[in-house]
Amino acid sequence: MSTGTSINLKVEKTKNSKLSQIDFNNLPFGQTFSDHMFVCDYKDGKWQTPQIIPYQNISLDPAAKIFHYGQSVFEGMKAYKDDQDQIWLFRPLENQKRINISSERLAMPAFPKNYFMEGLETLLKIDKEWIPQTPGSSLYIRPFIFATGVGFHASPADEYKFIIACAPSGPYFSGNVKVLIEEKYSRSANGGVGFAKAGGNYAGQFYPTELAVKKGYHQVIWTDDNTHEYIEEAGAMNIFVRIGDTLITSPTSDRILDGVTRKSILDIAKDENIPVEVRKFTVTELVEASKNGTLKEMFGAGTAAVVSPISLFGHKGENYELPEIENSYASRFKKRITDIQYNRAEDKFGWRYLVK
């Protein structure tokens, strides 16, 4: 069948829903998948007819260039359901724009905005019952594009596949996070692909993170590739610190992802008259602020966790604990954002997007 969308979307619904097998009160993050997925292929120089099909395995030629040259980018989004059973997205056009920015950097074709948005909305309406309403849960949405064209020659592929798959998920992190400031390995470099949500960026993080975990930490704080003196990101998230009453975060660059949650926090801080500095800041500044008592908070910010408070950071064999404070910036930002996402509060910024 096809839908009434302007993109002539073809829909094949599953005959065997897995919905009854799901315990929505005990959801791991990103390990259970909804009944359907949105799929569209690129070949002969254009995107073909998009489809929604039952969630299933895909078949690829061993010479598909994704395996050899890593042309793959993705996004992370969430869908929420309010107490009126309405479906909401949070700033989805930011994700739609960013996946094309990432694709351009990896010499991949842009995916049309109307295909992205109409395909996503139709998928969410079909899999509406997969959107959990348990506190802290949501439907995690993963749009991604990868090279399916074949050949061992080191060049961009001529065929690609775009997919949106969904996973009902509970909270990403529980509790506060202990981090280690990285002094050897780098996440990205000037002129590189650090600003893109490319799969290889994350693959390169796993080994240094494993080393940190063996030392008793949860995540790595990434520093600049040249001096390892400037703070850049927290694991797979943007990072914020609070020194005194001032909120500080690194500027975006070739090396740092332009996070949707990051931008939202900056707008909320401005709305609440919180002093903000978007500037480079050093490990030395962080350590000194911890020692003199002016370092009040550190937290990561991203789609999966929203806001993830950091309770301790390690550097050069020493650990520095963060104080526990009431009415923290982290808790305020998380509540403000999630109240908008779940349609519990006014959205003065126009971020909430109703799936009709």
Find the CATH number of the domain harbouring 313: 3.20.10.10
Which parts of the chain register pLDDT below 70? 1-5, 173-174
Are 201 and 270 contained in the same domain?
A: yes
The H or E element that residue 161 is part of is strand 160-169
pLDDT of residue 135: 87
Domain boundary among 133, 153, 169: 169
- Please report whether residue 347 resides in a domain: no
Are 283 and 157 contained in the same domain?
A: no
Residues 272-299 have pLDDT tens digits of 999 999 999 999 999 999 999 999 999 9
- Please report whether residue 116 resides in a domain: yes
pLDDT of residue 286: 98
Give dist(CA 273, CA 54) in Å, integer.
48
pLDDT of residue 122: 98
| Cβ-proximal residues to 326 (8 Å cutoff; 6+ apart), any chain | none
- Please report whether residue 212 resides in a domain: yes
Burial class of residue 316 in the structure, from the number of CB atoms within 10 Å of its CB (0-12 exposed, 13-18 middle, 19+ buried): exposed
Give the chain's domain count.
2
Residues 300-323 have pLDDT tens digits of 999 999 999 999 999 999 999 999
Domain boundary among 139, 169, 199: 169
pLDDT of residue 276: 98
pTM score > 0.85 for this model? yes
Are 188 and 322 contained in the same domain?
A: yes
Are 186 and 335 contained in the same domain?
A: yes
Domain boundary among 138, 169, 200: 169
Domain holding 336, by residue range, is 177-341
Are 139 and 281 contained in the same domain?
A: no
pLDDT of residue 2: 58
